[in-house]
Amino acid sequence: MPRRRAILVSSFGFGLGLVAVLSPGGLPVASGQPKALVVPPAPQAPTLTTPVTLGAKRGGAVELSLSGTNLDAPLAVLLGGPGKATVVPLPKPDPSQLKVKFDLPADTPVGLYPLRVATAAGVSNLRPFLVDDLDGVAETEANRSKDAPQDIPLSCSVSGRTDAEASDYFRVKVPAGRRLAFEVVARRAGSPLDPIVVLHDAKTKREMIDRYADDTPGLQGDCRLVHTFPEDSEVLVEVRDTTYRGGPDFFYRLRVGDFPGATTAFPLAVQRGRATPVGFAGPGAEDIPPVTVEAPTDPALMAVNVVPKRAAGTCGWPVPVRLTDEPQGVEEEPNDDPAKANRVPVPGGVSARFGGKNDRDHFVVAGKKDRKLAVVVQTYELNAPTEVLVKVLDAKGAELAKSDPQKVPVRVEFTPPADGDYVIACEHLNYLSGPNEVYHLAVKLVAPDVDVALALDRYEAPAGGGTAVAVATVNRLNGYAGPVELSVVGSDALTGRVVVPAGQTQAFIPVWVKEWARPGAYPFVVKATITADGRPVERFGTITELVKAGFGGLPNPPPELLTGCVLGVADKPPFAVALSPDPLTAEKGKAATLAATVTRAGGFDGDVGLAPLSLPPNVAVAAKPAPKGQPAGSVALTPAPNAAVGPAQVLIRATGKVGGKDYAVTPPPVAIEVAEPKKEPPKKDEPKKP
């Protein structure tokens, strides 16, 4: 039986508790204990709520309407790929609507791209934008029965939406001998729809036996059906949710045409900076020619997409190729016994397949005495259906380690008892084989490492100002227990660093915007650096749980989206808050006060509230707002007797009503030092205690 894989779904808010001060060397130092906290985007920032699939055909122009909030001061529409997006003026500004013209070059690769809107107040959340090479067709929404289907051409991409307790029907006339693919892109584009596609005979209205697709392997809940029609036919294509759910967000793209199907690339991973021929695997992928991938060198990019295409035909939906720094290879048969094992470098990787009946693969690696190695196999994570059992054998064939079929991912760690070669034996758990039973095997040194998860992917701050980037989890791995330096990289307009000391697992990075930065959106990534065994190790923060949530809990969201964040450089806000002193010393049992100097602008003269977003454990707070017309407020911090002594940090958010709408500003965190109470010197008329 296949292993049961857990799907993790997370909200856009994460629990945080962080503190930071300046170290003697000048870097901020984070400290404190985790504390439940939600850090939402500012209420004035734009949001996109468009409940339909956005997209266009490459090589043309199209105008689309975006819906959301705070869209009435647009600066730019960001499309994470080739093409130009131009805001089309509306007769009257509408904060809930935005019209955009998209111009896409003819060579724009088919696939999904991140779309955001930048305004004078910040930057929006991400929405998927689909680029296709098929002609677009809009669903009529009057096609809810077999007696009233919507006629569509042989080759098209239908943008549709399902209603609860209903199916959508489309009629296609197919000439004899024509092969057609019917593919629904829904889950992979963030829709909650769990689609089914069924073919019916248009004349009899009866379902065509075996012309049904649901949860096609490798499509993460989406479906694809391929059929060659032996004679002239008229068919009805039914699209619906598996449990007949529906609603405004249950959108989909139905792709119809003679395009190739692929579920994975092969090889599944390539080395950065190398040109590598990449083929395809999956039902119907046998005759797809390989493409050469010029792997980028960007260390923060986790994958690139490759598009399957037959000569002079339309494109299939793209599949990802993972990027890695280690050498990569492809299995060479025969390697059915240890004597013919393929050598894999350490560290390194290989893409392989169980091609024939009872196929078993063997690989050999060089081990060093007492130097622990890890063997990691990925399949479902790369959209492959394969189930792999791994065994590690010594030179005499004795088993040293074995994978647990119930654990995900497939990982085996072993420590070589002596210098020499060790064999990795792989077999299919369910004894299956074929061209689509592919997997990727990596061999790694078990060395000190770090993994960083980010809590948010978008922020806002004015030029010359700053804010705080929230880091939800700093996970030290393989015995590493030291400090972790986090920095914001990718844009010359932004600077920010923090050191997370040993024992701390969460942090805010204070980020500053250069004075010269113009309003707009500035992409960045978070780099984590540790020093272990005398060498630097660099990793990049991921927003995996955020992207999963944005894609409706998709188990394996697009890997190319998992590291990118954006800061919207906004216009000068209607009010700003400066907190002082920074750093602040707070003695246990005594109140230490942060003065909040409020600067108002643009005619705003209202109240400005102050509230903590993050506090050290066991520190009480009492905040006084800046009343209307007054330039100051305050935040009093009182550490309890059981508060931890040492560096700490508070994060304060200022709020106000501007033009009847909520507005918030989150400046960078303020450093504090929690200290023991100072001992009062004895009075002159009192004898000194011995």
Q: What percent of the chain has pLDDT over 70?
A: 93
Q: First CA to last CA across the chain, in angstroms?
A: 77
3-class SS at 380? helix
CA distance 561 to 115: 11
Tokens representing 37?
A: 């906290």
For 225-272, how does the pLDDT look when each residue is reduced to its tens digit (9 = 90+)?
Answer: 999 999 999 999 999 999 999 999 999 999 999 999 899 999 999 999
CATH architecture of the domain with range 573-675: Sandwich (2.60)
Q: Kindly list the domain boundaries of the chain, sorted by start residue.
A: 136-257, 328-445, 455-570, 573-675
DSSP E strands, 325-457: 328-330, 342-343, 348-353, 361-367, 373-378, 388-393, 399-402, 410-414, 420-428, 438-445, 449-454
CATH number of 136-257: 2.60.120.380
Mean pLDDT, rounded, of the chain = 90
Residue 684: partners with Cβ closer than 8 Å, 6 or more residues away = none
Judge whether residue 71 has pLDDT over 60: yes
CA distance 651 to 468: 8
Please work out, in degrees rounded to the nearest 5, the angle formed at the alpha carbon of residue 408 by the alpha carbons of 436 and 413: 105
Comparing 173 with 678, the larger pLDDT belongs to 173
Site of tokens 């809940």: 221
Buried b or exposed e, range 362-400, using 16+ CB within 10 angstroms? bbbbebeeeebbbbbbbbbbbbbbbbbbbbbbbeeeeeb
Residue 618 phi/psi, 5° resolution?
65, 35
Q: What is the DSSP letter of 284?
A: T
The distance between the two most distant Cα atoms of the chain, rounded to a whole number of Å, is 113
CA distance 562 to 67: 25
Contact 527, 471 (CB under 8 A): no
Contact 582, 671 (CB under 8 A): yes
Class of the domain covering 455-570: mainly beta
3-class SS at 251? strand
For 330-344, how does the pLDDT look when each residue is reduced to its tens digit (9 = 90+)?
Answer: 999 999 999 999 999
Write down the pLDDT at residue 279. 96
pTM: 0.91
For 146-160, how does the pLDDT look when each residue is reduced to its tens digit (9 = 90+)?
Answer: 999 999 999 999 999
Give Cα separations from 153 to 168, 172, 202, 235, 251 (angstroms): 16, 6, 15, 12, 20
Mean pLDDT for the stretch of residues 57-72: 94
Tokens representing 105?
A: 């070059």
Contact 193, 151 (CB under 8 A): no
Write down the pLDDT at residue 685. 64
Contact 468, 668 (CB under 8 A): yes
Amino acid at position 420, single letter: G
Residue 24: partners with Cβ closer than 8 Å, 6 or more residues away = none
Element spanning 630, H or E: none
Tell me which residue of 484, 490, 469, 491 sits closest to 529, measured CA to CA: 484
For 504-558, how does the pLDDT look when each residue is reduced to its tens digit (9 = 90+)?
Answer: 888 899 999 999 999 999 999 999 999 998 999 999 999 999 999 889 899 999 9
Q: What percent of the chain has pLDDT over 90?
A: 80
Write down the pLDDT at residue 2. 36
Among 23-32, 355-364, 383-392, the range scoring the smallest mean pLDDT is 23-32
Write down the pLDDT at residue 349. 98
3-class SS at 253? strand
Tokens representing 201?
A: 């005979």
Site of tokens 């599949």: 319
Judge whether residue 109 has pLDDT over 80: yes
CATH architecture of the domain with range 328-445: Sandwich (2.60)
Q: Which sign, positive or negative, has the C-alpha torsion 9, 13, 18, 21?
A: positive
CA distance 193 to 665: 37
For 469-499, how does the pLDDT look when each residue is reduced to its tens digit (9 = 90+)?
Answer: 999 899 999 999 999 999 999 999 999 999 9
Judge whether residue 143 has pLDDT over 50: yes
Q: What is the DSSP letter of 428?
A: E
Write down the pLDDT at residue 688. 59
For 604-636, how does the pLDDT look when each residue is reduced to its tens digit (9 = 90+)?
Answer: 999 999 999 988 889 999 999 999 999 999 999
Write down the pLDDT at residue 38. 61
Q: How many CB atoms neighbour CB 422 within 10 A?
A: 24
For 366-377, how does the pLDDT look when each residue is reduced to its tens digit (9 = 90+)?
Answer: 999 999 999 999
Contact 137, 156 (CB under 8 A): yes
Buried b or exposed e, range 521-533, using 16+ CB within 10 angstroms? bbebbbbbbbebe
**136-257 against 328-445: fold identical:** yes
Mean pLDDT for the stretch of residues 327-356: 97
Contact 486, 468 (CB under 8 A): no
In sequence order, the β-bridge partners of residue 650 are 670
Contact 541, 528 (CB under 8 A): yes
